[in-house]
Structure 1
Amino acid sequence: MEELARLAGITVRTLRFYRERKLIPPPRREGRIAWYDDHHLARLRTITALLERGHTLNGIAELAEAFDHGRDVADLLGLGAPTEEVPVRLTPEELADRFAGEVTAENLAAAMDLGYVGTDGDEIVHISRRLLEVSAALVREGIPLAEVLAAGRRVREHAEALAELFTDLVTRHAPEDDLHRLRPLAKSVVEAELSMALDRRLNKRP
């Protein structure tokens, strides 16, 4: 416990408090010896980063409890089912390989804050294979992961507004059950408008 606290940059008293609040999973025990590993250290560093970003311990505890008991990240976001997005399970090492040098405690905390990732036992769960692949591709092109995540937050705000617009439109003129059936139409409109907006941007460049 002392070694883990030292590596995480916290006191043993704080570590005990986190354990009591169930913010970290229990250690593996062999007789009287309690073994902690890199997953415990990563969780502690993520807690520190989330606290620095203004999150409360109660909020962090809720996330930790949900992830440790296997609740889907989509449930935490209120997405529910059905969804077209396919979650991806990764080891911490696989996630690090996807974003070489960019998986910092701060970036992991930001991704958790967005609901992109959570932990389930020894694995990390990403909510969307498409978002994971696009994010990794942007990082490979030299765009810092922190900026990719910041852009993702802005995109989500616009996406929520578009979803609200389409939902209101359909519910005013069609049965509520038609929302799922007409969902592809909303996606087609957004994709077409984004495509044309990109064309306009590219045509303005010298």
Structure 2
Amino acid sequence: MEELARLAGITVRTLRFYRERKLIPPPRREGRIAWYGDHHLARLRTISALLERGHTLNGIAELAEAFDHGRDVGDLLGLGAPTEETPVRLTPEDLADHFAGEVTAENLAAAMDLGYVGTDGGEIVHVSRRLLDVSSALVREGIPLAEVLDAGRRVREHADALAALFTDLILRHAPEEDLRRLRPLAKSVVEAELSMALDRRLRKQP
């Protein structure tokens, strides 16, 4: 405990307080000896960084609970065949920087439920670089992250319906192995229709 506190730049008393508040996971025990590892040090440095950014200990405790009970990255990315999306590894500090002031326990839990983020040791993994960039850009434009995530949930429902439509269409006329080859055609139709739909909406604006 003394070594961990020294490496983290805090006092042993502070470390004990964090343990009591369950801000860090319990150590691995061998008899009467408690062992701390790199993930404990990473968590303590994260707490210090979040405190410097103005987060309260209560807020950090909520984040820690959501983080510890989040989806494991193996479940998040266990999709079988590779996809076109590029996962992104983030520290909790990186995530806070992407969504300044918006990374609440509620928003983190919602992102985990959507399958956008999962945990891998001391890191967070976002399933898609494109979704991460777009959602953080929307937040920077002043749109609350909670509303961005709610929109993502609604888009997911439409996207699932569109994927089912094209899958059924192709399988009625082509073998299953053609699904991957014809995937770009489905994407092109959706992108073109969305582009024209946005044009129609913009023309209706005063």
TM-score by length of 2: 0.69
1:2-13 alignment, distance < 5 Å: none
Paired with 2:107 and 2:2, the residues of 1 have a C-alpha distance of 26
**Contact 2:98–2:136 at 8 Å: present in 1 too?**
yes
Asked if the contact 2:71–2:112 (Cα under 8 Å) also holds between the matched residues in 1, the reply is no
Displacement of 1:6? 23
Cα displacement (A) at 1:79: 3.1
**Structure 1 pair 79–173 and aligned structure 2 pair: CA distance change class (3 A):** same
Alpha-carbon contact 1:88-1:129 (below 8 Å) kept: yes
SS of the residue corresponding to residue 89 of structure 1 reads: strand
Deviation track 1:26-57 (CA, whole Å, cap 9, x = no partner) reads 53669957588998899999999999999999
Q: Counterpart of 2:136?
A: 136
Q: Distance in 1 between matches of 2:162 and 2:49?
A: 31
CA apart distance, 1:98: 0.3
Instruction: Spell out, residue by residue over 1:115-159, the C-alpha distance to the aligned partner (whole angstroms, 9 max, x if none).
Output: 100110110000000000000000000000000000000000000
Q: Which moved more, 1:78-87 or 1:54-63?
A: 54-63
Deviation at 1:173, TM superposition (A): 0.2
1:100-126 residue CA offsets vs partner (Å, 9 max, x unmatched): 000000000000000100110110000
What CA RMSD, in Å, does the superposition of the two structures yield over aligned residues?
Answer: 8.0
Query: What's the secondary structure of 2:39's corresponding residue?
Result: helix
> What is the rounded CA distance, in whole Å, between the counterparts of 1:4 and 1:104 in structure 2?
27
Q: Which consecutive segments of 4 or more residues in structure 1 shift more than 2 A? A: 1-80
Could you say if the C-alpha distance between residues 113 and 59 of structure 1 is closer, same or farther in structure 2, counting changes exceeding 3 Å?
farther
Gaps of 5+ in 1: none
Counterparts of 1:12 and 1:111 in 2: how far apart (Å)?
34
- The answer as to whether partners of 1:126 and 1:132 remain within 8 angstroms in 2 is yes
SS of 2:34's partner is: strand
Kindly, what percent of the aligned residue pairs are identical? 91
Q: Say whether the 8 Å CA contact 1:91–1:122 is kept in structure 2.
A: yes
Deviation digits for residues 55-111 of structure 1 (CA, Å, limit 9, x no counterpart): 999999999999999997475476322200000000000000000000000000000
- What is the DSSP-based 3-state SS (H/G/I as helix, E as strand, rest coil) of the residue aligned with 2:7? helix
> Could you say if the C-alpha distance between residues 14 and 165 of structure 1 is closer, same or farther in structure 2, counting changes exceeding 3 Å?
farther
Residue 39 to residue 199, structure 1, CA distance change in 2 (3 Å): farther
Distance 1:46 1:203, change over 3 A: farther
User: Which deviates further from its counterpart, 75-84 or 92-101?
Assistant: 75-84
Q: Is the 8 A contact 2:66 2:109 kept in 1?
A: no
The answer on whether the counterparts of 1:73 and 1:115 sit within 8 Å (CA) in structure 2 is no
8 A Cα contact 1:85 1:129, kept in partner: yes
In the alignment, structure 2 segments of 5+ residues that lack a partner are none
Structure whose alpha-carbon radius of gyration is higher: 2
Measured at CA, do residues 3 and 159 of structure 1 come closer, stay the same or move farther in structure 2, by a change above 3 Å?
farther
Q: CA separation in 1, counterparts of 2:54 and 2:149?
A: 17
Give me the TM-score of the superposition, normalised by structure 1: 0.69
Cα separation, partners in 2 of 1:48 and 1:104, compared to 1, 3 Å:
farther
Counterpart secondary structure, 2:23: coil
Map residues 167-186 of structure 1 onto 2, 5 A cutoff: 167-186=167-186
- Give the equivalent residue in structure 1 for 2:202: 202
Cα 1:188/1:64, change in 2 over 3 Å: farther
